Structure 1
Amino acid sequence: MNHRTLGNVGEVSEVGYGAWQIGSDWGDVTESEAVAAVEAARDAGIDFFDTADVYGDGRSERILGDVLEDDIDAEEVTVATKAGRRLNPHVPDEYNETNLRRFVNRSRENLGMETLDLVQLHCPPTDVYYQPETFDALAALADEGKIANYGVSVERVEEGLKAIEYPGVETVQIIFNPFRQRPAKLFLDEAAARDVGVICRVPLASGLLTGALSRDTDFAEDDHRNYNREGDAFDVGETFAGVPYEVGLDAADALAERVDAVADDPTDATGNDLSLPQLSLRWLLDHDAVSAVIPGSTTPEHIRSNAAASDLVPLGEADREAVADVYDEFVREHVHQRW
């Protein structure tokens, strides 16, 4: 497992583990399945874990805190969490020091950590990025030792660009994958220029880029891929990266076919024998400004395969062209200017 610098947070495994699935919104996940997933991630060399206080109303944080307790105490892992989505109503004025302090203290208890490694504002309303007092509150919590670093998780590129104007923001978490390519332009350059860490979430487009979904896939009632396809519960960009489901299936099929064709081409000298998810993760890691990707899964085999993307050589030109062509042909019109 290779490591990269994540802002001022330090060195983290470039393939991390996104712990949304062990909390909620992905169908039923048992406690034993969740524990096995986290253990598989550690065994695969992953030492960066991302969660949030609303994933299962704290369940994800508590599981990480329990399973990783010894590693946390030994400072062998980095755990990032998020705060803000517990607000009801979820409005800019409520992103104040009183509420953030309350959320941080709850996460400290859930994770069993005196000082949280990284706290990220959890996709707040856009106006929050124009409230210096919100970032002053995070700085105050850092000064008190309740958090070590802070950053933001954003929905839109413009929000990320605004956030990194604040000197204390060490990281930006953003949706970035072969089906959401807009961050590859201005945003990554600006983040790199300011030494801001970039965390890529939804790297497999909610499963579209695993190649395992079809028109016959039956999603559980409490799976966001069922109830949030139109953005009824939260930003639709969080579900299938905002790509209409059937369009995404066609795009994934086309990408898989083109990648297979590249692999069969004797002139391809990369040596990569890529699954679709590994191609997607490797594509992300080939961007130097990316600090970590955080795929989530509850299947140990998939977690190990995701982690193995770190050891693959960079993609060849033919693979990169395949990703660009599929994006332009199927996906761009649906997502590019929206986020």
Structure 2
Amino acid sequence: MEQRSFDRIGRHVGVVGLGTWQLGADWGQVSESAATEVLAAAVEAGVTFLDTADVYGDGRSERLIGRFLREHPGHGLTVATKMGRRVPQTPEAYNLDNFRAWTDRSRANLGVDTLDLVQLHCPPTAVFADDRVFDALDTLVAQRRIAGYGVSVETCDQALTAIARPGVASVQIILNAVRLKPLERVLPAASAAGVGIIARVPLASGLLSGRYDERTTFPADDHRNFNRHGEAFDVGETFSGVDYDLGLAAVRRLAPLVGDGRTTTQFALRWILDQPGVTVVIPGARDAEQARRNAATAELPSLTGRELDAVRRTYDELIRPRVHDRW
């Protein structure tokens, strides 16, 4: 698999990673055996970057990865976790004492002395401008609790503020065929600064897979049911903030472009990989075959200029008026 670099921490990862929110919670039930099969299939297919968080299943995702690391040593994996969402979201909560406690918990869950990459998990906007927050993160690096740090953001403005910080190694941001705003300023700024871009929600919560229609229903414990209007967390995390029916219309317009030799999901993931400045994309998977197909996207040819233009036109005509200014 093609490798790309997080320049500020000197790590190289495969361009298709694995997001493990599904293995923790909020996507319906995934058994431990199924989760282990997903991890094994992804790694066998060339995935070297795993993204998790301390709140995914209250640490379940981290613990599953930790067990996998113990049982499969030597794969050269980079594991990125996140911290900060276990407490009420006030800027004051983002302090060194809490950082130590949160990273100690993740280190125990993952079974490692030093965390590869720790990301602030979509904190309040004020956190990005607070020097004390980043001084505390530098302290964790100096103490070898973490090898590097980054941020996960909701908005492009948050991303740009973080990119200006000299110690920030990565920015995780929603980027997909119905969320194009990061292409304008965030990706160019990150590339110029040597900051890695982790593209999350790459399939708009499955919308861009082409598998859903107006008759599709989701379990009560799936965020695509309970967070349709931002009831539990930022609505942009669910279907990228796009109205469900509008998203279906966009997918149907793009469907003729998929052609033979790739799936609708692979078309959507390949679009992300073709954007300059992207380091790694992190689709999730609920079963082993899904993980294999996602990883195989890295071997597919880049999209043509005609295909890229069609994605842009679809976004501009259908999606832009609804989401572009919100994030």
**Cα distance, 1:75 vs structure 2:** 6.3
The residue that corresponds to 1:3 in the other structure is: 3
Please give the residue correspondences for 1:121-200 in structure 2 after superposition, counting only pairs within 5 Å.
Answer: 121-200=120-199
The residue that corresponds to 2:312 in the other structure is: 324
2:105 & 2:274 partners in 1: Cα distance?
A: 37
Runs in 1 of length 4+ with deviation above 3 angstroms?
none
The residue that corresponds to 2:281 in the other structure is: 293
User: Does the Cα contact within 8 Å between 2:199 and 2:282 map onto a contact in 1?
Assistant: yes
**Cα distance, 1:70 vs structure 2:** 4.9
1:274 & 1:332 partners in 2: Cα distance?
A: 27
Q: Alignment partner of 2:4: what SS?
A: strand
The residue that corresponds to 1:268 in the other structure is: none
Give the count of matched residue pairs.
Answer: 326
1:75 & 1:221 partners in 2: Cα distance?
A: 36
Q: Which runs of 5+ in 1 are unaligned?
A: 264-271
**Cα distance, 1:43 vs structure 2:** 1.2
User: Does the Cα contact within 8 Å between 1:20 and 1:55 map onto a contact in 2?
Assistant: yes
The residue that corresponds to 1:230 in the other structure is: 229
User: Does the Cα contact within 8 Å between 2:52 and 2:80 map onto a contact in 1?
Assistant: yes
Please give the residue correspondences for 1:1-339 in structure 2 after superposition, counting only pairs within 5 Å.
Answer: 1-9=1-9, 10-71=11-72, 74=74, 76-87=76-87, 89-257=88-256, 259-260=257-258, 263=259, 273-339=261-327
Letter in 2 for 1:299: D
Letter in 2 for 1:334: R
Over the aligned positions, Cα root-mean-square deviation in angstroms equals 1.2
2:275 & 2:316 partners in 1: Cα distance?
A: 19
User: Does the Cα contact within 8 Å between 2:107 and 2:113 map onto a contact in 1?
Assistant: yes
1:333 & 1:232 partners in 2: Cα distance?
A: 23
User: Does the Cα contact within 8 Å between 2:35 and 2:287 map onto a contact in 1?
Assistant: no
1:91 & 1:61 partners in 2: Cα distance?
A: 24
**Cα distance, 1:217 vs structure 2:** 1.1
2:155 & 2:21 partners in 1: Cα distance?
A: 20
User: Does the Cα contact within 8 Å between 1:123 and 1:152 map onto a contact in 2?
Assistant: yes
- If the length of structure 1 is used for normalisation, what is the TM-score? 0.94
Q: Alignment partner of 1:136: what SS?
A: helix
1:174 & 1:252 partners in 2: Cα distance?
A: 21
**Cα distance, 1:125 vs structure 2:** 0.6
**Cα distance, 1:46 vs structure 2:** 0.5
Q: Alignment partner of 2:58: what SS?
A: coil
2:18 & 2:53 partners in 1: Cα distance?
A: 13
Offset from partner CA, 1:226-257 (integer Å, 9 cap, x none): 00010010000000011011111111111113
2:113 & 2:97 partners in 1: Cα distance?
A: 19
Offset from partner CA, 1:12-64 (integer Å, 9 cap, x none): 01000000000000011111111111111111110100000000000000000
Letter in 1 for 2:314: V
2:290 & 2:317 partners in 1: Cα distance?
A: 28
Q: Alignment partner of 2:97: what SS?
A: helix
- If the length of structure 2 is used for normalisation, what is the TM-score? 0.97
1:36 & 1:274 partners in 2: Cα distance?
A: 23
**Cα distance, 1:218 vs structure 2:** 1.4
1:90 & 1:189 partners in 2: Cα distance?
A: 30
Q: 1:117 to 1:75 in 2, by over 3 A?
A: farther
User: Does the Cα contact within 8 Å between 1:7 and 1:171 map onto a contact in 2?
Assistant: no
Letter in 2 for 1:250: A
**Cα distance, 1:69 vs structure 2:** 2.0
User: Does the Cα contact within 8 Å between 1:12 and 1:78 map onto a contact in 2?
Assistant: yes
1:304 & 1:336 partners in 2: Cα distance?
A: 32
**Cα distance, 1:273 vs structure 2:** 2.9
Q: Which runs of 5+ in 2 are unaligned?
A: none
User: Does the Cα contact within 8 Å between 1:62 and 1:110 map onto a contact in 2?
Assistant: yes
Offset from partner CA, 1:138-165 (integer Å, 9 cap, x none): 1101100000000000000000000111
